[in-house]
Structure 1
Amino acid sequence: MSDPRVSAPVGAPAPAAPTPRAGADVVVGVPLGGRARAAVHWAAAEARDRGVALRLVHGLVVPRGGYPGRSFVGVDAERGLFSLARQELRDMRLVARDVAPDVPIVEDLVESDPVAVLRAQARVASLLVLGSDGFGRLGELALGRTTRGLAGEVAIPVVLVPHHCDAQARERAEGHAPVVVGDDGTEGCRAALRFAAVRAVSRGAPLVVVRAGKDVRLLDEDVPELGSERPVGVRVVLAEERADRVLADQARDAELVVLGVGEHGRLRHRRPRTRPGLVRRATCPVAIVPPGPGGRSGASR
């Protein structure tokens, strides 16, 4: 580092908006293949801490028309896929139960594009959680497509949980592991700073503000405006290295690292690689906070 300084009906044709309910659930997207285990583990603990329900959601896309093999082996793709999806949701329920046995758990299986399903769920949720499956470039492309369709396009934070996430970091630090937030001095980071500050205060944890990249000399070492939220400690780190590397390094022992989004839900062109690079390197979840009220409401209570 360079000179660092201080349940919906199965088979429904389209994802109808969920009915609002008391409290705001934590929603986790569940793909097939056991790839959501780390995300479900983290989301269950988050729902427990917030005192809300956990919603396990799978958006199922069933191939239509002819496809190779069906007429020869009698494969019923639709029935098989629904069976796999139901089993996946049951398996993830067990994972969540191990973490938070008293948290209400809802399973939603909807036949529609996963991004559309999760967008609908976000209207009444407090948080959307996705897993990073670690299946190489193909998995990164799938995650990237889903994330682009959600981050900044929904009014609540989207949390990406790496498959290698250290699930015990929060417990080892007795709930006081630091919260790390990226700040490039733009409007898109203000909600992220507020979200990170509220979370740090609610957990009695320190806040680390990272300003990194080739333009870091244009920024200063002053603590940003955090409103009425005052964490137990705030540290500002300046470094001229790539932001994803600096953030991942600072977040090594953190419980969460937070990023903002630019106008209209798109990350600013000055840091196009920060998000995928950070998810690849981070050992803790990465929260992407939209501008506006959603960035404030998503903090843990």
Structure 2
Amino acid sequence: MSDGPLSGGLVIAAVDGSDHSLRALEWARLAALRHGTGLMVAHVLPEVSQLYAGRRSALHDPNEPEEYADPVRDRVRALLESGPQLPPEVRYEALEGSVPEALRAVSGEREPLMLVMGSRGRGGFAALLLGSSSRAVATTASCPVVVVPHEGRAVEDPEGASAGRVVLGLHAAETPEDVLSFAFAEAAARGTTVQVVSAYALPPGPMAVIDSPFAVIPPEALADGPDGVPAEREMLRAQTRRLDPLRARFPGVPVEQAVVPGDPAGRLVEASRSAALVVVGRHHPRRRSLLIGSVAHAVLQHAHGPVAVVPALHDDEPG
């Protein structure tokens, strides 16, 4: 692995030596290859290493070794060097500080394409769905964060369903453009479809069937008719208006539209069983919508495959 600087737009993989983080490293390696960019493997040193470095610096003791042993770096280096194809540039970087702060700092400095990490780290309880570090980084990082689930939640393939579609959770009036752009760029890199899922509230009633499968409706099927649900028709039209510019920018990406009744997070979690990636917006920086935030949080907690949480990277309003 190189020690030199990496170009911009790289993929950062956060590792701690656990099997969960090594699943994320494999996902990040493939993402860097698909996007033709560099890979940075970032490891936040444990407290004992950081204390040792501080002590050595304070004492200026020449008899102490210059570098504290870093078994995580050695394991990652051996894994990558003995494994399959690597991106054109790969670098390992040891970080200091708390895990969320260190990863936020490195992602802010590097302007990466994405930061990839496991859903829980070395110290996570077996029943814990989402570790505190993963939640903190996904909530506050300045770049898209992809959280790869641990073995208990994931399908067998470390990428989820690698041949599956990219699922985009869309609130037509509120989801920032950066979220849509990330989903379409990822689908283009994978050569797959974007399935756009929006949900509307269903009035309570004894005949409501929330768990029924949802239908994928092409734009040409939006004609008015007595059989359609007004909320569905209007939401599909709003979807189409938001998606038109993305269709123009990514003409080779097939698009499926789905409008479903009920809970958006539950629908996205169900879709994650067969998706290559589920993409959700974090929140709009000015509106800080609790609805969007709660959906992202719920999907992170329960998804069966990788989830990308995308912040609003530019000060724009949805069109």
Please give the TM-score of this superposition, normalised by the length of structure 1. 0.71
Alpha carbons 1:162, 1:283 under 8 Å: kept: yes
Aligned counterpart for 2:71 among listed residues 82, 87, 93: 87
Q: Select the residue among 261, 276, 282 that pairs with 2:297.
A: 276
SS at structure 2 position matched to 1:58: strand
Q: d(CA) in 2 for partners of 1:62 and 1:201?
A: 41
Is 1:53 the counterpart of 2:29 in the alignment? no
Superposed CA offset, 1:41-79 (max 9, x none): 1001111222222211122352699xxxxxxxxxxxxx9
- Aligned counterpart for 1:29 among listed residues 14, 19, 23: 14
- Look up the match of 2:132: 141
Instruction: Give yes or no for contact 2:278–2:308 (8 Å, CA) kept in 1.
Output: yes
Contact 1:206 1:231 (8 Å CA) reproduced: no
Q: Identity, % of aligned pairs?
A: 23
The question of whether the paired residues in 1 share the 8 Å contact of 2:194 and 2:256 is answered with yes
Query: Does residue 210 of structure 1 match 2:197?
Result: yes
Counting only pairs closer than 5 Å after superposition, residues 255-266 of structure 1 correspond to structure 2 as: 255-264=276-285
**Closer, same or farther: CA 197–24 of 1 in aligned 2, 3 Å:** closer
Q: Which amino acid aligns with 1:261?
A: R
Shift of 1:284: 2.3
Report the equivalent of 1:163: 150
1:42 aligns with 2:24: no
**Number of the residue aligned with 2:217:** none
| Counterpart amino acid of residue 177 in structure 1 | G
Closer/same/farther in 2, CA of residues 34 and 87 from structure 1, 3 Å limit:
farther
**Hey, what does 1:73 align to over in structure 2?**
none
Residues 30 and 89 in structure 1, CA contact (< 8 A), matched pair in contact too: no
Q: Which runs of 5+ in 2 are unaligned?
A: 52-64, 204-230
- Taking the TM superposition and a 5 Å limit, the aligned residue runs for 1:57-72 are 57-60=42-45, 62=47
CA gap of 1:53–1:167, structure 2 versus 1, over 3 A, is: farther
Q: Write the mapping of 1:71-220 to structure 2, written as runs, cut at 5 A.
A: 83=69, 86-97=70-81, 98-101=83-86, 103-122=88-107, 123-124=109-110, 125-133=112-120, 135=125, 136-137=127-128, 140-150=131-141, 154=142, 156-164=143-151, 165-166=154-155, 168=157, 176-214=163-201, 217=231, 220=235
Among 291, 308, 315, the residue aligned to 1:287: 308
Closer, same or farther: CA 172–60 of 1 in aligned 2, 3 Å = closer
Distance in 2, matches of 1:250 and 1:232, equals 19
Q: Distance in 1 between matches of 2:8 and 2:156?
A: 25
Q: CA deviation at 1:158?
A: 1.2
**Structure 1 CA distance for aligned equivalents of residues 150 and 315 of structure 2:** 26
SS of alignment partner, residue 220 of structure 1? helix
Q: How far does residue 143 in structure 1 lie from its aligned partner after superposition?
A: 2.4
Q: SS where residue 131 of structure 2 aligns? A: helix
Q: In 2, Cα distance between the equivalents of 1:110 and 1:242?
A: 39
Deviations, residues 70-114 of structure 1 (Å, cap 9, x unaligned): xxxxxxxxx9xx54xx21233233444424346533211122222
Deviation at 1:166, TM superposition (A): 3.9
Task: Say how many residue pairs are matched.
Answer: 258
- Distance 1:294-1:88 versus aligned 2 partners, 3 A rule: farther
1:145 counterpart letter in structure 2: A
Q: Is the 8 A contact 1:170 1:177 kept in 2?
A: no
Gaps of 5+ in 1: 1-6, 10-18, 66-78, 296-301
2:104, 2:137 within 8 Å by CA — same for their partners in 1?
no
- Alpha carbons of 1:99 and 1:210: their partners in 2 closer, same or farther (altered >3 Å)? farther
Whether the 8 Å CA contact 1:44–1:96 is kept in 2: the answer is no
Corresponding residue number in structure 2 for 1:234: 255
**Paired residue secondary structure (1:235):** strand
Q: Distance in 2 between matches of 1:163 and 1:294?
A: 34
1:225 aligns with 2:253: no
Cα deviation, 1:149-198, whole Å, max 9, x if unaligned, reads: 32xxx1x211111113446376976xx52110001123334221122123
Larger Rg: 2
